[in-house]
Every structure is written in C-alpha cells, then in structure tokens.
C-alpha cells in the first residue's frame, strides 16, 4: 500500500540544543533505516519549510501508523496521510 505523507515539524524554540541535536540524529538514523528497508522509498524536503513530502510503501495502515509514531520527531509533528491508488491512465513501467 502506498501513502503520500506530509510531515511538518514544530520544535519548541526553547528546546535544549543538546536534546534537539539528539532527536534530529536519531530521526536521521531511523528514517534512513526505513529507506534502506524499502518502507520509505521517496523523501523530499519542502523548500523554505521544516517539512517534507514522503511516499511510504507498507503492508497496512497499522504498519504506517507504527512507523510514523516511531519517529523521534513524532511528538513535534503535524502529519497528513493520503492513501494512494493506481491511476487507470498510468502507463505501465513509467513513474
């Protein structure tokens, strides 16, 4: 199952810099592991925002929820999930 996920990060301005650095480092490690596993095949930054657009390829909505809630930045995020379906006009093997 494919999902389009927008994640907007809202870290508190007064968050201790050491805690911030630790959370961001753990986030990077976790997200790169999911990318290597094929669960997070696409990740794009949104220019000018602390946000990203991602495509997740998972077996279920429950798996997606578990992966997203496991993100170290999860407590500081607003997340919007859109399920995706194959378009009938899509050419096989393209995109």
Which domains, and CATH codes, for the chain?
Answer: 2-84 (3.30.70.1060)
Low-confidence spans in the chain with pLDDT less than 70? 95
Task: Say if CB 73 and CB 9 are below 8 A apart.
Answer: yes
Q: Does residue 5 contact residue 56 with C-beta atoms inside 8 Å?
A: yes
- Predicted local confidence at residue 94, as pLDDT: 77
Instruction: Tell me which residue has tokens 């496991």.
Output: 70
**pLDDT value at position 95?**
67
Cβ atoms 6, 48 nearer than 8 A: no
Cα torsion through 30, 36, 37, 38, rounded to 10: 110
pLDDT at 93: 82
Tokens of 45: 């930054």
């Amino acid at each position: 199952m494919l999902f389009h996920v927008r994640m907007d990060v809202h870290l508190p301005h007064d968050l201790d810099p050491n805690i911030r650095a630790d959370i961001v480092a753990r986030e990077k490690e976790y997200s790169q592991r999911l990318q290597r596993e094929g669960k997070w095949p696409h990740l794009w930054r949104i220019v000018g925002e602390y946000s990203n657009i991602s495509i997740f390829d998972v077996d279920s909505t429950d798996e997606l929820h578990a992966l997203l809630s496991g993100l170290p930045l999860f407590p500081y995020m607003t997340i919007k999930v859109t399920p995706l379906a194959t378009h009938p006009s899509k050419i096989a093997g393209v995109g």
